[in-house]
Amino acid sequence: MISFHSIPLLIVSVLFLLLGVYVFAQRRGSPGNIGYVLWCYLTVHWHFTWAIIYSVNDLRTAELLNKIGYSGIIFLPIAYYDFAVSFVRKKNGNLRVLVPYLIGLAFLATIWMGNHFVVGVQKYWWGYFPNVGNWHPYYLCFLTYLCWDGLKVLSKEYRRETSILRKSQLKHVIVACACYMLAAIDFIANYGVPVYPFGFIFTFLSLLIVVRGISQHQLMGLSLVIRKTAIYSVVTASLTAIYFIIATQLAKLLEGVSGQANFWSAAVAAVVVTALFQPMMNRMRNLLDEKLFGDWLGDMSRGVVHEVKGPLASISLPAELTLMDLEDIEKGKQDIRALLPAMKERMRGILNKTGEAAERIEALYELAASRGPSAGAVSIHDIIQGGISAAKNVLGSANVPLVLDVPQGLPPVRGSVKQLEIAVGNLVKNAVEAMNGSHDPVRLSAYEDKKHIVLSVRDTGSGIGDQDQAHLFDPNFTTKGAKGMGLGLYLTEKIIREHGGTITVHSEVGKGTEFIVKLPKLSEKNSFAA
């Protein structure tokens, strides 16, 4: 009979098994994949053996399981180290990990050849658990060294790396590894202290972080199209299992208190747990939506409407004029030769605008799919020109001058020119719209500091109240009624963040607003490499 305490371990085992098989099947040769697959297998080995050890009643079986379990566990930090080094060096099979593997084999021998590493088991309230011998602390030192050195290698690479995509990948790897390390909490019970080994929570979180890294940043060369429903099913099934266990345990407890087994204790338990369970379930779904998937479809479709509205609006007028001209020619009112140059000019304009709309859709698709912006160097002057052209309609109809203060020769930034144009265009449009009929200029300036290109868009318009400032970057937040969509700043912030930058706002009601965008600049050396 499977013990209640084994269930979370079994669930985490199955999830790691699935992830391991996926990573193995997809891209065997990618740097870090072998180490990670081994790491997954060893995690399954650990969780699964301990799930059984908690459920057995026989001492000898528990002692055997202890040795089997530890035979895998000793290699866990080595597999992690192998993964970290291969990921950074961008190749599998590094000599640097050979020595740890050899030390691992030596530890393995001590497990099976004496009582120095593991010494039997002891029974805690959750089941049997390994006791360790006097050589185990040496293993802990070895493990600490590998954890520390692995993190050092990863964080050094993170600081050195300039590609935004790879930086995001490294960030996920570092957080996932650090999270997994917290599972070392389980070692406490090895030393006779009855601390419940809840390390599986950290291994589970680390798995979620890796899945996120794969789905959003092509970690280990993988891209995972996770079916929302598949993930929901796994999470719902896990939570439902936990729900039943809590409900039955609570029913038992109530029976103990009332002294009799009856229908009411089960019913009360079910009601209490359901009351707690439903909100938890909803929160979990929201969290999954937000952290794992983002509102991909929502972002994408609303973003497209927001960004394509402008180019489409400027297509309809010239198209209408051309149609009227054609009708006049048909009726013989106008001469085709006289109208031809104007019609050609308008058609060119329409073509430009449709091209622009298509490019914006592509840029938004890139953004919504979180493929990471492309790695090319982009001139800040091109971004500003593109941004101004995106805001041309609004600038023209409000009759607000734009004053530029952009020195020549600013170093480039890395990323997608189309996405950054959308960001700058939105800031300029908002600044112009905030002028409320005044014809004072909006100022756009750029300069470089030590590490960034800093862009500032400043207006002397309505300003933004403190309460509104807190919601500026929320999707759908607008004070413009039916005219606004509340998406400009949401998209802008997302774009800047994806480019490794920041956006801040300084505003005073009645005086005006300044948005400051900082983007990591590319040094000359890096821009040649790009």
**Is the CB of residue 442 less than 8 Å from the CB of residue 400?**
yes
**Is the CB of residue 241 less than 8 Å from the CB of residue 250?**
no
Neighbouring-strand partners of residue 452: 520
Give 401's contacts (C-beta < 8 A, 6+ positions apart): 439, 441, 442
CA distance linking residue 216 with residue 2, whole number of Å: 37
Q: Which is nearer to ligand ADP, 500 or 512 (CB)?
A: 512
Sole binder of ligand ADP in the list 365, 479, 497, 509 (CB under 6 A): 479
Nearest residue (beta carbon) to ligand ADP: 488
Sole binder of ligand ADP in the list 364, 391, 472, 519 (CB under 6 A): 472
Q: Which amino acid, residue 327?
A: E
Strands 502-508 and 512-520 turn out to be antiparallel
277 forms part of the interface with ligand ADP (CB under 6 A): no
Least CB distance from residue 240 to ligand ADP, whole Å? 39
**Is the CB of residue 103 less than 8 Å from the CB of residue 145?**
no
Classify residue 288 by its DSSP letter: I
Least CB distance from residue 513 to ligand ADP, whole Å? 4
486 forms part of the interface with ligand ADP (CB under 6 A): yes
Q: Which parts of 213-232 interact with ligand ADP (CB under 6 A)?
A: none
133 forms part of the interface with ligand ADP (CB under 6 A): no
513 forms part of the interface with ligand ADP (CB under 6 A): yes
Q: Which residue carries 């005219």 as its tokens?
A: 483
Least CB distance from residue 371 to ligand ADP, whole Å? 23
Sole binder of ligand ADP in the list 485, 495, 503, 522 (CB under 6 A): 485
Q: Which stretch binds ligand ADP (CB under 6 A): 36-44, 113-121, 234-242, 423-431?
A: 423-431
**Is the CB of residue 514 less than 8 Å from the CB of residue 506?**
yes
CA distance linking residue 324 with residue 328, whole number of Å: 6
- x-or-dash pattern for ligand ADP, window 433-452, by CB under 6 A? -x------------------
416-437 residues labelled b (16+ CB within 10 A) or e (exposed): bbbbbbbbbbbbbbbbbbbbee
Q: Which is nearer to ligand ADP, 338 or 470 (CB)?
A: 470
Q: Which parts of 14-43 interact with ligand ADP (CB under 6 A)?
A: none
424 forms part of the interface with ligand ADP (CB under 6 A): no
461 forms part of the interface with ligand ADP (CB under 6 A): yes
Q: Which amino acid, residue 162?
A: T
464 forms part of the interface with ligand ADP (CB under 6 A): yes
Distances (CA, A) of 401 to 66, 243, 389, 395, 437: 76, 63, 14, 7, 12
Q: Which residues in this chain contact ligand ADP in the complex, by CB under 6 A? A: 426, 430-431, 434, 459, 461-462, 464, 468, 472, 477-480, 484-490, 513
